[in-house]
């Protein structure tokens, strides 16, 4: 299943989920109306007269009462769900910190944390997504992990302390690959929606429990005012009804939540095996969970809200497993290894990281089938949003070739800014001197000095590693104070325009940065969606024209390349024309990509397919072309990994 199919299925699951939860809410409304009618028919006569009802009224149909119950239920559920959604809409970091997660310092020297960061970096580069922030849950000894976020730009990966201490590198890589599958398949946003809706239904029961709790010290005696005693009984009855209705709705909400979650876990396990080509990695982690006394259990009460996020069952499943958010361990293991004999094993107290190879995982993907049988265009589009074994191996090779000083720079606040500035320095001595002066003028002497320390290493950097390094630096850049980040972006803009022209890499770098930084800060920012190809035909023509002119040296070559891409868009046949060079400025392109980012999945898929055919029409894909194409894919929220070299 490719990226676009996975995203489409995630959207279908969201629609189905909303329908199911709507039915659950309708059930709560119906039960609430029935309870209210039953109560009124058996209430004291004085209560019925007080509220316009007669206790012996034969009618069980009252539109006014039904309207009142409906409005009250929808108001409570809606407001509670919106409250929870607003709490979670800050992105993955808010979720990780809500459950007690501690952000791992990118400069950590702790061996286990360093190993985890290395694995996440490899997976990020291999899949083409920005480097997620990495968290550890220090108070959780069970073996578990989760990914959370609204988009790839605000995603986090979190593991428990038990996961760090009990798993080998291969097993940890299998777990992280499983979580990246959730990131790429669009599961994270769905998980947050489930959490918000289930909470909305639960609040009805919490209100009822609160009402009953508030009456715990109230006693009704015969000497009390009869009306007062009756009012207390009425309040208690209302509280009990709300408690029963709310928890009944919550029961069915959790059933829906569990059913949706279980289906996705088998897919994520299979994807992890496909990514790493190392079945013993993920099965080893599952076997250790089965043999470990604490298993995958979680202690934090707040973690219960996001139980369906985790790698394995975090809490005891009630009602005979109906509430289980994950399939049984033996079923998950046998789905990968049919010969599993049912034996689990107890993990060591602490895995000895010092005697593990940090690069051994590459061996499992060395035998991955090459995609040479595919055309270059098909290979490019097939790589979008996937974690192929060859990409994992390529990511390790690419990272091994990055000078250590540059890799460390991407992990620090000062170093990340200096790294991005350094990537924009040009070889021409006069322009380079002008750029260095601009760094001092706009960024300050400290930034200029940091850039100077990286210049020698930057000369050794492979062009293919430039954009991956930008993606690795994003978590650090996200954390910069607003003023510092704004000053850095202004400095970058000055560096780009220092020579009076913008090349493809400079545009790609700025577009990737601006898009992911903006999305990371406001991941829940709403926006309309465009479903008509005709509504964006000019923007599509502009994108293909820019690529065609970048891929060819003359007008004839550009026309040929453009035609190769336009031929993939049958719905726009006859509507697309190669635009003149004067209309293909990066300024126009920037605006076009922003509009295309609102396009539906079919528009994005066909556009990227057409773009891949443009750059691959001559059978040669240059670094400058793939950088531009990756910037396009990034702006459309379709992660594209670095090409396999």
Question: What amino acid positions are annotated as catalytic residues?
Answer: 179
Q: Is 405 exposed, middle or buried (0-12, 13-18, 19+ CB in 10 A)?
A: middle
Separation CA 594–CA 598 (nearest Å): 7
Output the DSSP codes for 310-371: BSS--S---GGGTT-SS--HHHHHHHH-TT--S---PPPSS--GGGS-SSTTHHHHTTPPP-
CA distance to 124, 197, 303, 563, 579, per residue, from 569 (Å): 31, 39, 46, 10, 17
CA neighbor of 615 nearest in space, from 640, 596, 597? 640
Q: Quick one: angle between helices 413-423 and 445-459, nearest 10?
A: 60
Q: Is 500 exposed, middle or buried (0-12, 13-18, 19+ CB in 10 A)?
A: exposed
Phi, psi of 303 (to 5 degrees): -65, -20
CA neighbor of 130 nearest in space, from 105, 154, 147, 157? 154
Encoded tokens for 256: 């829906």
Output the DSSP codes for 171-194: HHHHHHHHHHHHHHTTHHHHHHHH
- Torsion angle defined by CA atoms of residues 76, 77, 82 and 87, in that order, rounded to the nearest 10 degrees: 90
Separation CA 48–CA 42 (nearest Å): 9
Contacts of 158 (CB under 8 A, 6+ apart): 96, 99, 101, 134, 135, 136, 137, 145, 146, 147, 148
164, 136 in Cβ contact below 8 A? yes
Other CB atoms closer than 10 Å to residue 336's CB: what's the count? 19
Q: If DSSP codes are grouped into helix, strand and coil, which group holds residue 133?
A: strand
CA neighbor of 335 nearest in space, from 374, 286, 300, 299? 286
Place of tokens 């926006």: 527
Encoded tokens for 249: 């709705």
E-state strands within 424-558: none
485, 516 in Cβ contact below 8 A? no
């Amino acid at each position: 299943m490719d990226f676009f199919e996975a995203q489409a299925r995630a959207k279908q699951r969201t629609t189905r989920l909303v329908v199911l939860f709507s039915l659950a809410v309708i059930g709560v409304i119906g039960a609430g109306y029935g309870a209210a009618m039953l109560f009124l028919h058996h209430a004291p006569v004085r209560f019925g007269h007080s509220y316009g009802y007669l206790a012996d009224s034969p009618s069980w149909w009252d539109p006014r009462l039904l309207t009142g119950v409906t409005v009250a239920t929808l108001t409570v559920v809606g407001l509670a769900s919106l409250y929870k959604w607003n709490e979670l809409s800050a992105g993955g970091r808010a979720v990780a910190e809500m459950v007690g997660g501690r952000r791992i310092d990118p400069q950590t020297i702790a061996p286990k944390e360093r190993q985890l960061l290395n694995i996440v970096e490899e997976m990020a580069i291999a899949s083409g997504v920005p480097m997620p922030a990495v968290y550890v849950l220090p108070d959780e000894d069970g073996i578990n992990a989760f990914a959370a976020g609204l988009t790839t730009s605000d995603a986090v990966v979190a593991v428990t302390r038990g996961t760090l201490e009990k798993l080998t590198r291969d097993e940890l890589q299998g777990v992280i690959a499983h979580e990246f599958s959730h990131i790429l398949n669009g599961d994270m946003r769905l998980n947050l929606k489930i959490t918000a809706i289930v909470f909305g239904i639960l609040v009805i029961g919490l209100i009822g429990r609160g009402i009953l709790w508030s009456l715990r010290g109230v006693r009704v005696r015969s000497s009390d005012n009869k009306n007062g005693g009756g009012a207390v009984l009425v309040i208690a009855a209302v509280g009990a009804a709300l408690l029963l209705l709310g928890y009944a709705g919550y029961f069915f909400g959790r059933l829906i939540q569990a059913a949706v979650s279980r289906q996705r876990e088998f897919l994520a396990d299979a994807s992890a095996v496909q990514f790493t080509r190392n079945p013993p990695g993920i099965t080893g982690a599952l076997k250790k969970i089965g043999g470990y006394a604490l298993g995958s259990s979680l202690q934090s009460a707040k973690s219960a809200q996001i139980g369906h996020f985790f790698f394995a069952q975090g809490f005891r499943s009630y009602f005979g497993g109906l509430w289980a958010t994950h399939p049984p361990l033996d079923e998950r293991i046998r789905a990968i290894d049919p010969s599993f004999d049912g034996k689990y094993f107890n993990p060591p107290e602490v895995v000895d990281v010092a005697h593990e190879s940090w690069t051994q995982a590459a061996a499992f993907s060395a035998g991955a089938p090459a995609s040479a049988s595919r055309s270059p265009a098909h290979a490019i589009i097939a790589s979008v949003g996937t974690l192929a074994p060859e990409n994992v191996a390529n990511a390790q090779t690419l990272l091994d070739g990055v000078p250590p000083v540059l890799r460390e720079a991407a992990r620090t606040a000062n170093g990340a800014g200096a790294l991005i500035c350094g990537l924009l320095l040009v070889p021409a001595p006069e322009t380079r001197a002008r750029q260095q002066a601009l760094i001092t003028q706009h960024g300050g002497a400290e930034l200029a000095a940091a850039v100077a320390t990286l210049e020698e290493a930057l000369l050794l950097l492979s062009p293919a590693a430039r954009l991956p390094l930008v993606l690795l630096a994003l978590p650090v850049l996200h954390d910069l104070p607003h003023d510092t980040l704004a000053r850095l972006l202004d400095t970058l803009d000055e560096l780009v325009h220092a020579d009076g022209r913008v090349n493809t890499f400079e545009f790609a770098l700025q577009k990737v940065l601006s898009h992911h930084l903006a999305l990371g800060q406001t991941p829940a920012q709403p926006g309309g969606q465009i479903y008509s190809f005709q509504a964006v035909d000019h923007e599509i023509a502009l994108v293909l024209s820019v690529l065609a002119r970048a891929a060819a040296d003359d007008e004839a070559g550009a026309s040929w390349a453009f035609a190769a891409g336009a031929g993939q868009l049958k719905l726009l046949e006859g509507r697309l024309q190669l635009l003149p060079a004067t209309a293909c400025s990066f300024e126009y392109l920037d605006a076009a990509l922003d509009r295309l980012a609102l396009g539906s999945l079919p528009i994005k898929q066909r556009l990227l397919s057409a773009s891949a055919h443009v750059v691959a029409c001559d059978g040669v894909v240059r670094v400058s072309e793939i950088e531009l194409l990756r910037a396009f894919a990034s702006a459309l929220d379709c992660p594209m990994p670095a090409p396999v070299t």
